[in-house]
Amino acid sequence: MEHSTFIDVHCHVLTLSHPNFLSFVDTLRVRKSEIIYSQIRSPDYLTRALFRNRGESLRNLLTVMANSPGLIFGIMEDDLKGQFAKEGDPPPLVQEGALRISGRCFGSIALCPLIMDFDDRGRSSSDAYYYRPPVASIDAQIRDVLIGIRDYRLSRPNGMLQIHPFLGVNTRNHTLDSLCLFLGHHMGAWLPGRGRARTVFRAMQKYSSNENSVAETPGGECLFSGIKLYPPLGFDPWPEPGEEREKVELLFGFCEKRGIPITTHCDDQGFRVVPKEEAFAFTAPSRYRAVLERFPELRIDFAHFGRQYTTNLMRPAPTEWFDEIIRLIDAYPNVYTDLSFNGVEPAYYERLVAALAALPEATREKVESRVMFGSDFVVNLMKVRSYADYFRIFGSSPLEAELQARFCSENPARFLFEGLGPGTST
């Protein structure tokens, strides 16, 4: 395992310019009752963490987001190398060119920064003095992230990070024709497998934002490794028949035919700009049953393992989404899930171990072959001090070392590269 790759299949390099904060604030202003409900019913609700300890978590998060994507990649690598360590911290996780987790060594670290389509297309309203419909251009964010990857590669030619971005898609921001053009432009040159990953690695160093295409190199290599969906921004994976249904069928058919991985948000928290009931309905993994019946080979990661925080008073948090993801994994060959953000608390892994042990043996084996490590950095800084601390919590978890290796290397490699196994550098 000396030269295998540790894969963080779910992270973000959000800067302060990427999210459409006005849409988020307008949501809070217009739907106050939903926010009060969420605060009461969600013991781990994110905003509580933001202002704990005089806002230390918020200041830490904003300190990172004030940087460009290229600098954020450097912060992530330097943190694992111990360059931000405080007095009393454990030894660095990266020493002598290798990441060391739970007795295993990894020669490289692969990241999947997920781009999100925050464009609200003027659907929000505001009575602010300077109000004009905000333009949260997905193209601007794409350009930012790709330039950041290029700059990281150029500034650190021997860096440990291998970066495989996912393209944000929200079909409601497209017509059928514009969606077809968007997918063809950004993902039309997509090819699966290890050869694509190596080609893109070299091509990214030559990427220029001045090219006519912001997502393809002159040689035609696609620079994205998958697609990111985010239902709380209004994406409905299976609308009623009509143009909206045609658009999602185009999207899922495009991805299934090419084997393009999809990651979809799947917990009941996050950046939400639609009513709570609508967000929950679109996010629920059961919403994708009809999708998978129509596209059974679809390669899809239900992020956060369907974590639900919103509870009925005096009752434990529900597990419907978690249970449904297990059923989908059992039924479909390319359904995966990830642990992003969940790993901010050590107790989560104790519950996960118990839940896996309770499954029938055949189902447990399937599930253990589809779970993937994810950090949700930078978002996880709301609940954990650092990227390195998140890794340490995973490494010290009660998961057996062999299972940790499957979650952080073997399973995500299969999801991303269709058989690019451990022991092979991308």
**For 279-334, what is each residue's pLDDT tens digit?**
999 999 999 999 999 999 999 999 999 999 887 665 677 899 999 999 999 999 99
Highest mean pLDDT: which range of 108-122, 143-157, 204-218, 237-251: 237-251
Write out pLDDT tens, residues 3-58. Answer: 589 999 999 999 988 876 666 566 555 555 555 454 444 445 455 555 566 678 88
Dump pLDDT digits (tens) for 405-422: 999 999 999 999 874 333
Q: The sheet that has 371-372: what strands, in order across it? A: 166-168, 226-229, 262-264, 300-302, 335-338, 371-372
3-state secondary structure of 211: coil
- Reported as type and span, the H/E element at residue 28 is helix 21-30
Tokens, residue 312: 């009925």
Residue 46 is encoded by which pair of tokens?
A: 């994110």
- Cα of first residue to Cα of last residue in the chain, in angstroms, is 14
**Phi first, then psi: what are they for 7, rounded to 5°?**
-120, 120
Question: Could you give the CA distance from residue 21 to residue 27 in angstroms, rounded to a whole number?
Answer: 10
- pLDDT of residue 399 exceeding 80, the answer is yes
Q: What is residue 99's three-state secondary structure? A: strand
Query: Which pLDDT value is given to residue 129?
Result: 75
Q: Where are the beta strands (DSSP E) in 169-221?
A: none
Contact status, residue 309 vs residue 44, Cβ threshold 8 Å: yes
Q: What is the pLDDT of residue 219?
A: 54
Domain ranges of the chain: 16-81+113-342+356-364
List, in sequence order, every residue forming a beta bridge with 101; answer none if it has no partner: 104
* 3-class DSSP string for 256-278: HHHCCCEEECCCCCCCCCCCHHH
Give the CA distances from residue 162 to residues 60, 130, 317, in Å, rounded to whole numbers and listed in that order. 25, 42, 36
Contact 317, 308 (CB under 8 A): yes
Q: Which residues contact 339 (CB under 8 A, 6 or more apart)?
A: 304, 305, 348, 352, 371, 372, 373, 374, 394, 407
**∠ CA 270-111-80, rounded to 5°:** 95
**112 has pLDDT over 70:** yes
Contacts of 96 (CB under 8 A, 6+ apart): none
Q: Which residue has the tokens 């806002």?
A: 55
CA atoms within 13 A of residue 183's CA, in its CB half-sphere: 25
pTM for this predicted structure: 0.90
* pLDDT score recorded for residue 316: 72
Whole-angstrom distance, CA of residue 108 vs CA of residue 158: 10
How confident is the model at residue 132, as a pLDDT? 67
Look at residue 86 and tell me whether its pLDDT is greater than 50.
Answer: yes
User: Closest Cα to residue 60, out of 68, 51, 69?
Assistant: 51
Nearest to 191 by CA among 228, 162, 216: 216
pLDDT value of residue 276: 87
Per residue in 155-188, pLDDT (tens digit) is 999 999 999 999 999 999 999 999 999 999 999 8
Q: What percent of the chain has pLDDT over 70?
A: 80
Mean pLDDT of the chain: 86
Instruction: Give the start-end residues of each E strand in 51-91.
Output: none
**Digit-coded pLDDT (tens) for 198-245:** 777 777 767 776 544 445 555 567 889 999 999 999 999 999 999 999
Average pLDDT over residues 61-73: 95
Give me the numbers of helices (H) and strands (E) for the chain, helices first please.
Answer: 17, 11
55 CB-near residues (< 8 Å, 6+ apart): none
Q: What is the pLDDT of residue 137?
A: 78
